[in-house]
């Protein structure tokens, strides 16, 4: 799964390099460039989600955090 995501991200980067030259000249290329940037961001987020340890993330939700109050700053 990670290898496929990395391969897809690399393909998007190559497409962006090619479109970057023409993005300023044409509105169609500009729209396509923006679309590919969004797709690349989605793929990166999926890659980050795959690499996270889901057990630790679930455990963090149940551990209470220490709350910081405004009066703590004036001690």
Summarised one tens digit per residue, pLDDT across range 31-65 is: 998 999 999 999 999 888 887 777 777 777 788 77
- What average pLDDT does the structure give for the chain? 85
Q: Which residue has the higher pLDDT, 13 or 1?
A: 13
Summarize the confidence of residues 14-40 as an average pLDDT.
87
In this predicted structure, what is the pLDDT of residue 12? 92
Is pTM beyond 0.85? Reply is no
Q: What is the pLDDT of residue 18?
A: 87
Give CA–CA dist 35/1, Å, rounded. Answer: 23
Q: pLDDT at residue 10 above 80?
A: yes
């Amino acid at each position: 799964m990670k290898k496929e995501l990395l391969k897809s991200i690399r393909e998007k980067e190559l497409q962006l390099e090619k479109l970057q030259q023409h993005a300023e000249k044409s509105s169609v290329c500009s729209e396509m460039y923006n679309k590919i940037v969004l797709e690349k961001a989605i793929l990166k987020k999926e890659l980050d989600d795959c690499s996270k340890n889901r057990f630790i993330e679930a455990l963090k939700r149940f551990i209470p955090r220490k709350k910081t109050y405004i009066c703590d700053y004036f001690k």
